[in-house]
């Protein structure tokens, strides 16, 4: 067991967009017809080459290629194997066809988009069926490999593995299992590997993150067969199978026994269990082990000494040992040093992508040459970690000591009693109409905020502009005849960041962009310390909106689970405690809104399903704190105050009981794309409160007709009592344009009137 060679430093992927989001700008300019395809492609090539040079100069020994994407790497894989649905295959060619799959084209809906495991990154769901004929188009991986080689850099192409590709795909008719297509798909991977080898690739990385989710034995058998078949090919690069985000469980011995040359394994977060498991099965003697010991999806500086201890344990368990981040660095921002306004002490606790690469390189030196060789880095790292542990920013006794009683965790009266009080106060018709909160974030609104930041617009002028927008949004809703109005959220840069900027304990970034999907980015805030609310956050905007109309206006907050899910959460205490602090801050905001006369308050939890742990065994504990923090935030109100919540990521099946336990008076859910299927599920689960299944899929600019909306409503009323149903879109309207919004909301109100007269 002493034959381990210390390998190199590597990563699996790197942010794609460039320090100034050049990729977003170039892509959106192309979409708008302002530039041509060559301009976009050359901007993309330029970004890739700069990345290569940057990673080489940072000291990585092996750099990935093909991790770049113009939109999404799962879409790239669908393209690679020719899994192009018929409706897209007739749209334009090349880039335009690719973007049609991503975004749709006139009358051609795009592929469905969904969350990439438990991250806030979205991938496009490949559509596969019994008729799918695969054909290989290896242009992208070959081009990206060759362009790097021209610059003297021998990269390791990264390709989504066949098992994960199929498990992430769907048959849109629901009648077949994509995994059944494995035999048809494998020859293409064999062909691809041969071509990569011919181009000079020595290693290829096949990503199999689906293996960290619970898989039946039959699937694991297919994994074994697949990698035995790929490895049996003579002309191919060596194969590195990568997994990340959680522990491999039963898949670990399967991979360990397979004849591939290397495994890349996550040893951070919930995946730390891989360490003991790997030791228990006797390691992977003779194989290359790439050890993900630097967390690739949080922004905390690694504990270098602890990582070295992990590497020490792994040393001897493999033929060679490389150091890496635990997953692609796609999920973290580029560079802490771009943040000029960060508290310098806090900045020292952080590592974004560039800093993580440096950590990986330092660890490799430490592994190869001993701790003495990196003594200075270890000392500096220990100082930073110690400053965090002792900092008064991190621990605030008043926050920690705030008591919560059992009575704080549920409403004073049961739903039926609240319902009567709310009906008496609000006097709403059956099938009340409402929207989810945001109205279009126009470029004027974003520009006003940019001007405010740059000091070119005064606070007063900015607030005037927001109030003008609120007046126009309220007037539009009154004219349309909507029953419960919203103020439109014009003042919010983002539904999480906006609150983070006002809560103590959170730190917002200016340049910390992370890709959410396509050209859409978010700047996840950082929860660095104990969370509290120095002052009310939304009361002025909500009361201003309410003052403009006799109709009820919903207060609009982001719930504790989503505040955590879309932030980088502190890793020095259980998430449940962090969630409790956020919940208490929100509880105070809810109370202030209620005191200000706001009768309806919505607390959004769109991320509740997304952060459900990947392994079944971890779910109950998560749902416990998730539900508790929601009820803590919302249950302090009187009976006659109506609490709404909202979720917009499908597959609620796994969280139905949690939805019931949250006990919101009203929940609005995404439902249009699945033709109201959720309503039947809620009926079957005896959902006792009110529900607004979305009747408009806001992810596309399409305007649904009155008939289509009537169809959705009749489907809903067929299985759920009409007097407990609401009518609303699937989600907020911030990414939509005003023409579609006006047209669709008019149709929605007309359709509702028609269905009301049925009853
Ligand atoms: N955090 C989060 N996660 C989420 C969602 C969400 O709403 N928030 N929704 C789901 C879908 N994901 C989404 C993610 C991003 C966007 C989105 O619209 N992002 C915008 C940025 C939003 C933002 O931060 N806006 C800021 C900054 C805008 C900006 O880029 N300003 C320019 C200047 C702009 C100008 O002059 O026009 C600059 O600073 O350079 C603001 O309005 O203040 C984008 O990429 O373009 C939408 C949906 C799931 N996950
Ligand atoms: Zn939503």
Nearest CA to ligand 1 atom 18: 520
Give the residue whose CA is nearest to atom 25 of ligand 1.
493
Report d(CA 170, CA 156) in Å as an integer. 29
**Alpha carbon distance 487, 495 (integer Å):** 14
The span from the CA of 247 to the CA of 255, in Å, is 13
Q: Cite the beta strand spans of 618-658 per DSSP E.
A: 642-647
- Please say if 699 is a catalytic residue: yes
Instruction: Compute the distance between CA of residue 377 and CA of residue 331 in angstroms, rounded to an integer.
Output: 25
Task: Choose among 615, 605, 621, 618: nearest CA to 667.
Answer: 605
Pick the residue whose CA is nearest to atom 29 on ligand 1: 446
Residues 6+ apart with CB under 8 A from 114: 122, 123, 125, 649, 650
Considering 88, 487, 644, 699, which one is annotated as catalytic? 699
Rounded to whole angstroms, the Cα distance separating 338 from 15 reads 15
Q: Give, for ligand 1, the residue of 522, 558, 648, 698 to mutate: max count of ligand atoms closer than 8 Å to Cβ.
A: 522
Q: Cβ distance 140 to 66 under 8 Å?
A: yes
Residue 469 DSSP code: H
User: Can you give the pLDDT at residue 341?
Assistant: 92
Alpha-carbon gap, residue 644 to 664, rounded angstroms:
6
3-class secondary-structure state, position 541: helix
Pairing of β 690-693 and β 262-266: unpaired
What's phi and psi for 114, nearest 5 deg?
-150, 170
pTM above 0.95, yes or no: yes
Confidence band of 3 (pLDDT split at 50, 70, 90): low
- Domain range annotation of the chain: 5-389, 420-756
More confident residue, 759 or 222: 222
Q: Is 438 annotated as a binding residue?
A: yes
Per-residue pLDDT tens digits for 266-284: 999 999 999 999 999 999 9
How far apart, in whole angstroms, are the C-alpha atoms of residue 296 and residue 54? 18
Nearest atom, ligand 1, residue 445 CA? 42
Q: Are domains 5-389 and 420-756 of this chain identical in fold?
A: yes
- For residue 732, the ligand closest to its alpha carbon is 2
The answer to whether the annotation marks 24 as part of a ligand binding site is: yes
| 670 CA to centre of ligand 2 in angstroms | 7
**CA 533-536-539 angle, 5° bins:** 150
Please provide the average confidence, as pLDDT, over all residues in the chain: 96
CA-wise closest residue to 154 among 163, 162, 145: 145
542: which 2 tokens?
A: 């909500």
Average pLDDT rounded to a whole number, residues 334-344? 95
- The mean pLDDT value for 104-126 works out to 93
- Over 60: is that where the pLDDT of 492 sits? yes
| Beta-bridge partner residues of 517 | 520
For residues 59 and 417, what is the distance between their CA atoms, to the nearest angstrom? 66
Which residues form the pocket of ligand 1, taking CB atoms under 6 Å from any ligand atom?
120, 441, 443, 446-447, 449-450, 493-496, 516, 520-522, 566, 735
Select from 3.20.20.300, 3.30.70.980, 3.40.50.620, 3.20.20.210 the CATH code of 420-756: 3.20.20.210
* Residue 436 among known ligand-binding residues: yes
Q: Does the pLDDT of residue 1 top 50, yes or no?
A: no
**How many Å apart are CA 403 and CA 287, to the nearest integer?**
53
Q: What is the average per-residue pLDDT within 210-214? A: 98
How many A from CA of 178 to the centre of ligand 1?
34
Residue 398, pLDDT > 50, answer: yes
pLDDT band (50, 70, 90) for residue 310: very high
Residue 7: is its pLDDT beyond 90?
A: no
Q: Using CA atoms, how far apart are residues 135 and 299, in angstroms rounded to an integer?
A: 40
What span, in angstroms and rounded, lies between the C-alpha atoms of 596 and 51? 52
For the record, the structure tokens of 188 come out as 């293409």
User: Does the model's ipTM exceed the 0.85 cut?
Assistant: yes
Six token digits for residue 710:
């009537």
- Tell me the per-residue pLDDT of 471-483, one tens digit each, with 9 for 90 and over: 999 999 999 999 9
Q: Given the CA of residue 521, which atom of ligand 1 is nearest to it?
A: 45
Backbone CA torsion sign across 146, 290, 613, 129? positive
Judge whether 62 is annotated as a binding position: no
Question: Is 369 marked as binding a ligand?
Answer: no
CA 454 – CA 448 distance, rounded (Å): 10
d(CA 38, CA 95): 10
Q: Which helix (H) or strand (E) holds 57?
A: helix 37-57
Query: Which ligand ends up closest to the CA of 562?
Result: 1
Structurally, what CATH architecture does the domain formed by 5-389 represent? Alpha-Beta Barrel (3.20)
Q: Residue 2: pLDDT above 60?
A: no
pLDDT score, position 387: 96
pLDDT higher than threshold 90 for residue 106:
no
Rounded distance from Cα 698 to ligand 2 centre (Å): 9
For residues 305 and 211, give the distance between their C-alpha atoms in angstroms, rounded to a whole number: 29
Calculate helix-pair angle for 706-719, 677-684, nearest 10 degrees: 10
The yes-or-no verdict on residue 488 having pLDDT over 80 is yes
Give 758's pLDDT tier (boundaries 50, 70, 90): confident
Q: What is the pLDDT of residues 570-624, one digit of tens each?
A: 999 999 999 999 999 999 999 999 999 999 999 999 999 989 999 999 999 999 9
**By three-state DSSP, how is residue 754 classified?**
helix
């Amino acid at each position: 067991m002493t034959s381990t060679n210390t390998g190199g430093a590597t990563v699996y992927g790197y942010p794609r967009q460039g320090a100034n989001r050049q990729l977003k700008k170039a892509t959106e300019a192309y979409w708008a017809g302002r530039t041509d395809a060559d301009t976009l492609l050359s901007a993309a090539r330029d970004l890739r080459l700069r990345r290569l040079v940057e990673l080489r100069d940072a000291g990585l020994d092996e750099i990935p290629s093909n991790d770049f994407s113009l939109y999404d790497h799962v879409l790239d894989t669908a393209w690679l194997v020719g899994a192009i649905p018929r409706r897209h295959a007739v749209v334009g060619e090349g880039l335009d066809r690719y973007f049609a799959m991503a975004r749709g084209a006139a009358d051609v809906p795009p592929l469905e988009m969904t969350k990439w495991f438990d991250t806030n990154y979205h991938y496009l769901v490949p559509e596969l069926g019994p008729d799918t004929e695969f054909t290989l188009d290896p242009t992208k991986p070959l081009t990206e490999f060759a362009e790097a080689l021209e610059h003297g850099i021998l990269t390791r192409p990264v390709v989504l593995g066949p098992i994960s590709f199929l498990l992430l795909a769907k048959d849109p008719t629901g009648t077949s299992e994509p995994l059944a297509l494995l035999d048809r798909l494998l020859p293409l991977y064999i062909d691809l590997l041969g071509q990569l080898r011919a181009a000079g690739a020595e290693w290829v990385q096949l990503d199999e993150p689906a293996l960290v989710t619970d898989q039946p034995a039959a699937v694991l058998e297919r994994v074994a067969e697949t990698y035995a078949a790929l490895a049996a090919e003579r002309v191919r690069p060596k194969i590195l199978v990568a997994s990340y985000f959680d522990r491999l469980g039963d898949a670990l011995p399967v991979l360990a026994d397979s004849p591939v040359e290397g495994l890349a394994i996550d040893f951070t977060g919930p995946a730390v269990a891989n360490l003991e498991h790997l030791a228990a099965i006797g390691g992977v003697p003779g194989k290359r082990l790439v050890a993900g010991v630097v967390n690739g999806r949080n922004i905390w500086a690694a504990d270098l000494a602890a990582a070295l201890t992990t590497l020490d344990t792994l040393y001897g368990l493999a033929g060679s040992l490389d150091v890496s981040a635990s997953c692609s660095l796609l999920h973290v921002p580029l560079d802490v040093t771009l943040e000029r306004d960060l508290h310098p002490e806090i900045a020292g606790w952080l590592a974004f992508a560039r800093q993580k690469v440096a950590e990986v390189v330092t660890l490799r030196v430490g592994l190869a040459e001993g701790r003495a060789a990196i003594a200075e880095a270890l000392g500096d790292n220990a100082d930073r970690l110690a400053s965090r542990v002792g900092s008064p920013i991190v621990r605030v006794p008043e926050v920690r000591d705030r008591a919560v009683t059992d009575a704080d965790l549920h409403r004073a009266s049961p739903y039926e009693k609240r319902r009567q009080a709310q009906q008496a106060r609000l006097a709403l018709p059956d099938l009340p109409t409402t929207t989810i909160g945001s109205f279009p974030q126009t470029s004027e609104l974003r520009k006003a905020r940019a001007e405010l930041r740059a000091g070119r617009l005064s606070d007063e002028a900015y607030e005037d502009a927001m109030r003008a927008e609120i007046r126009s949004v309220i007037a539009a809703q009154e004219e349309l005849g909507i029953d419960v109005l919203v103020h439109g959220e014009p003042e919010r840069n983002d539904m999480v960041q906006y609150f983070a900027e006002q809560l103590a304990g959170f730190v917002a970034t200016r340049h910390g962009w992370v890709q959410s999907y396509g050209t859409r980015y978010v700047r996840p805030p950082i929860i660095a310390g104990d969370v509290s609310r120095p002052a009310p956050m939304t009361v002025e905007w909500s009361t201003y909106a309410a003052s403009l109309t006799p109709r009820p206006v919903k207060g609009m907050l982001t719930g504790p689970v989503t505040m955590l899910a879309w932030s980088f959460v502190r890793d020095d205490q259980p998430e449940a405690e962090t969630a409790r602090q956020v919940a208490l801050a929100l509880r105070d905001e809810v109370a202030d809104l209620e005191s200000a006369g706001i009768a309806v308050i919505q607390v959004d939890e769109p991320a509740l399903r997304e952060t459900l742990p990947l392994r079944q065994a971890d779910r109950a504990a998560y749902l416990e704190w998730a539900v508790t923090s929601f009820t803590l935030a919302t249950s302090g109100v009187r009976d006659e105050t109506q609490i709404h919540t909202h979720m917009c990521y499908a597959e609620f099946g796994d969280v139905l009981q949690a939805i019931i336990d949250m006990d919101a008076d009203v929940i609005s859910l995404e439902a249009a794309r699945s033709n109201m299927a959720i309503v039947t599920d809620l009926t079957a689960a005896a959902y006792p409160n009110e529900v607004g299944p979305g009747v408009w899929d806001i992810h596309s600019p399409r305007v649904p007709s009155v008939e289509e909306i009537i169809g959705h409503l009749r489907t809903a009323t067929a299985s759920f009592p009409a007097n407990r149903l609401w009518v609303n879109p699937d989600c907020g309207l911030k990414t939509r344009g005003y023409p579609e919004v006006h047209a669709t909301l008019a149709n929605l109100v007309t359709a509702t009137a028609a269905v009301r007269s049925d009853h």
